[in-house]
Amino acid sequence: MWNLARAAWSLRQVRRLSMSISGPCIVHKRGTDILHDPWFNKDTGFPLTERDRLGLRGLLPPRVISFEQQYERFMNSYRSLEHNTKGEREGVVSLAKWRILNRLHDRNVTLYYRVLIDNIKDFAPIVYTPTVGLVCQNYGGLYRRPRGMYFSAKDKGEMMSMIYNWPSHQVDMIVMTDGSRILGLGDLGVQGIGIPIGKLDIYVAAAGINPQRVLPVMLDVGTNNQKLLEDNLYLGLRQRRLDGDEYLSIIDEFMEAAFSRWPKAVIQFEDFQMKWAFETLQRYRHRFCMFNDDIQGTAGVALAGLLGAVRAQGRSLKDFTKQKIVVVGAGSAGIGVLNMAKRAVSRMCGSDENLEGNQFWLLDKDGLITKDRKELDPAAAPFARGYGPEEVEGLNEGASLLEVVKKVKPHVLLGLSGVGGIFNEEVLRAMQDSDSSRPAIFAMSNPTMNAECTPKDAFKYAGENIIFSSGSPFENVDLGDGRVGYVNQANNMYLFPGIGLGALLSGARHISDGMLQAAAECLASYMTDEEIQKGILFPSISSIRHITMQVGAAVVHAAVAEDLAEGHGDVDLKELSNMSKDETMEYVSRNMWYPIYSPLVHEK
Ligand SMILES: NC(=O)C1=CN([C@@H]2O[C@H](COP(=O)(O)OP(=O)(O)OC[C@H]3O[C@@H](n4cnc5c(N)ncnc54)[C@H](O)[C@@H]3O)[C@@H](O)[C@H]2O)C=CC1
Ligand SMILES: CC(=O)C(=O)O
Ligand SMILES: [Mg+2]
């Protein structure tokens, strides 16, 4: 029933948008300038009137090919590529797929986004995790032409004028990285630009942000990756990373420049190393409309998954306060998740009781974090064990993951460590003694090789009744006799597009915890009990536009309720405030861009 409703929504969307975006639009370019401009290019799809009036006659083969035929032609070449590369190494195949998509992106933006939207389940693993990680690692060799903007430490004092070099008058969404922690692959310096590009592709596909209004940004402040520093062909600054005030002054300058040109834009910080991730979030979150996806987007998705795991046990949501949760990885993502989970517990308890973090165990590379930890990170301190009266497990500072799992018998084991295979056979077997009837194992690190375990191993060693999530996509596991071990993709892609879209369409001054909470709750309540019982916590990626529309509307609502909204375009605060829930959803979906060829000349 749900799926039918979602499919019907998608169809209505397409029909409505096809009608609404058909107004005439004028292009001032002519001839080959149009063919070489990916925004306007229609390849062989230019109708005869446009060929005549835009100086295209003779520059194209005579037959006019429809959009649908062009689409089919691209998909045929994609399928041939899949067929012809059968048996080759996975990395080689994924990079070949990335190249064919990237070439289309370079040439014809409309067709590119249509094939991406329609095939998002197949193409997200190419433009996003895991292939985007490989693309970043091989960026020097793959680089053909720039995409997005690069601001480097050498541009200090110039950014306010540089920002005007970007050709679009309007920018709605900026995703920015300094390349210091790209997925679980470490410091990739300027090569990390692939991540903002991939995230913004998801913004266009899921949130319907107009691709002419997105801006991927690389802030190149150097790299501490020795291999890159020694590589003659490395495309970034060959210097060690700036630190301290020098570093912050670069970020400050960029933020001022970006918001002075586009005061209504939303900026997403992505893949910053932990110390700067938290510090920049605190520094800017009350001044600008920005958020940190790794800290805040991930937290919302994980919380939705954790609440789903409680429902899957047939318990009431309030029982979340009693779940024992072991988090492996005390970085920006792991601590972000714990902070949000802790806030959820305090809301459910209706008071500040149970705020000692007693249901949480946090480990980093040095094992269990306790109050005896030397140089305890202030961000991890609220979750360090040893403060409460119930410390009976006899777990010491630095206890190993296996020890912790054996003694705690957690309901949830959640990995955000970036360490592939750390949930090994012994650890997974120990989860069989979990106090939960359906233990949850979330191996959320990216890309695939960095996942804490594979779903196959998880179902094999921890038991077939587990609930499983990974950060990168994996196939479901065949448990025999027609039974399926469901694999959920607990990835922030389910939330960041809706957070950005909701912030944009509400005209939020900044992005509050309440707006993020609304996003997480919307995702958490999206699934039916039947789906949850099967172990399915998140919708299929194919429904990402629909879930993003709902998340976006929930964020708009929260921004209005918190008095943070200022309105967007012609829709002012008063109008936003008067919208019902359904009207807000209609407003959000009306503002989602959908790729169709627009006329380039006025009809006579
Ligand atoms: N699924 C998703 O949506 C998301 C996944 N991630 C993934 O999470 C991972 C971590 O990201 P961040 O927290 O930003 O990185 P980070 O570098 O800030 O933190 C990594 C943490 O893992 C710990 N760690 C390293 N080795 C360990 C070991 N052997 N045992 C236990 N802990 C260990 C480190 O001490 C550190 O606390 C990355 O692989 C990233 O791709 C991040 C954000 C979203
Ligand atoms: C998904 C994501 O944001 C990460 O792995 O960093
Ligand atoms: Mg990230």
Tens of pLDDT, residues 360-397: 999 999 999 999 999 999 999 999 998 655 555 689 99
| Res. 445: pLDDT tops 60 | yes
Measured by CA distance, the residue closest to atom 37 of ligand 1 is: 330
| Res. 258: pLDDT tops 60 | yes
Contact predicate 520/550, CB 8 Å: no
Residue 269: left if φ>0, alpha if ψ -120 to 50, beta else—which one?
Answer: beta
For a substitution probing ligand 2, which of 178, 492, 494, 496 has the most ligand atoms within 8 Å of its CB? 492
Query: Can 264 be counted among the known catalytic residues?
Result: no
Indicate the pLDDT class of residue 459, thresholds 50, 70 and 90. Answer: very high
Measured by CA distance, the residue closest to atom 5 of ligand 2 is: 183
Annotated binding site: which residue ranges?
181, 270-271, 294, 446, 491
Write out pLDDT tens, residues 278-332. Answer: 999 999 999 999 999 999 999 999 999 999 999 999 999 999 999 999 999 999 9
In the reported structure, the alpha carbon of residue 472 is separated from the centroid of ligand 2 by a whole-number distance in angstroms of: 9
| Res. 9: pLDDT tops 80 | no
Measured by CA distance, the residue closest to atom 2 of ligand 1 is: 491
C-alpha–C-alpha distance, residues 473 and 469, integer Å = 9
| Res. 131: pLDDT tops 90 | yes
Calculate mean pLDDT across residues 89-103: 97
What would you report as the CA-atom Rg of the chain, rounded to the nearest whole angstrom? Answer: 24
Instruction: For residue 410, give the nearest of 419, 418, 401, 397 by alpha carbon.
Output: 401
pTM listed for this prediction:
0.95
Instruction: Give the number of other CB atoms < 10 A from CB of residue 392.
Output: 8
pLDDT of residue 26: 75
The two most distant CA atoms of the chain are separated, in Å, by: 83
pLDDT of residue 354: 52
Which ligand neighbours the alpha carbon of 331 most closely?
1
Return the ligand 2 atom nearest residue 446 CA.
Answer: 5
Token pair belonging to 29: 């370019």
C-alpha–C-alpha distance, residues 133 and 418, integer Å = 13
Instruction: Give the number of other CB atoms < 10 A from CB of residue 565.
Output: 26
In the reported structure, the alpha carbon of residue 270 is separated from the centroid of ligand 3 by a whole-number distance in angstroms of: 5
In the reported structure, the alpha carbon of residue 295 is separated from the centroid of ligand 3 by a whole-number distance in angstroms of: 9
Relative to beta strand 360-364, strand 367-368 is: antiparallel
C-alpha–C-alpha distance, residues 489 and 498, integer Å = 17
Instruction: For residue 333, give the nearest of 374, 302, 372 by alpha carbon.
Output: 302
Protein residues with CB under 6 Å of any ligand 1 atom: 181, 183-184, 274, 294, 298, 301, 328-334, 363-365, 416-419, 422, 444-446, 450, 471, 490-492
Q: Is ligand 2 within 6 A of the CB of residue 294?
A: yes
C-alpha–C-alpha distance, residues 211 and 171, integer Å = 9
Please give the mean pLDDT across all residues of the chain: 94
Write out pLDDT tens, residues 423-437. Answer: 999 999 999 999 999
Provide the percentage of residues in the chain whose pLDDT is more than 70.
93
Q: Which residues are 175's β-sheet partners?
A: 216, 268
Contact predicate 592/13, CB 8 Å: yes
Contact predicate 284/290, CB 8 Å: yes
pLDDT of residue 10: 56
pLDDT of residue 18: 40
Indicate the pLDDT class of residue 357, thresholds 50, 70 and 90. Answer: low
Return the ligand 1 atom nearest residue 380 CA.
Answer: 37
In the reported structure, the alpha carbon of residue 199 is separated from the centroid of ligand 3 by a whole-number distance in angstroms of: 9
The one catalytic residue among 128, 234, 247, 594: 128
Q: Which residues are 215's β-sheet partners?
A: 174
Calculate mean pLDDT across residues 576-593: 97
Instruction: Give the number of other CB atoms < 10 A from CB of residue 552.
Output: 32
Our CA dihedral for 492, 494, 498, 500, rounded to 10 degrees, sits at 20
Contact predicate 224/240, CB 8 Å: yes
| Res. 119: pLDDT tops 70 | yes
Indicate the pLDDT class of residue 19, thresholds 50, 70 and 90. Answer: very low
pLDDT of residue 394: 82
In the reported structure, the alpha carbon of residue 539 is separated from the centroid of ligand 1 by a whole-number distance in angstroms of: 24
Write out pLDDT tens, residues 385-394. Answer: 986 555 556 8
Indicate the pLDDT class of residue 21, thresholds 50, 70 and 90. Answer: very low
Query: Can 199 be counted among the known catalytic residues?
Result: yes
Measured by CA distance, the residue closest to atom 3 of ligand 1 is: 491
Token pair belonging to 504: 């944009």
In the three-class reduction of DSSP (H, G, I as helix; E, B as strand; rest coil), residue 269 is classed as strand
C-alpha–C-alpha distance, residues 217 and 254, integer Å = 10
Which ligand neighbours the alpha carbon of 416 most closely?
1
Instruction: Identify the sign of the CA torsion 137, 142, 148, 150.
Output: positive
Measured by CA distance, the residue closest to atom 4 of ligand 2 is: 183
Q: How far is CA 59 from CA 285, 408, 548, in A?
A: 51, 71, 41
| Res. 24: pLDDT tops 60 | no
Which ligand neighbours the alpha carbon of 296 most closely?
1
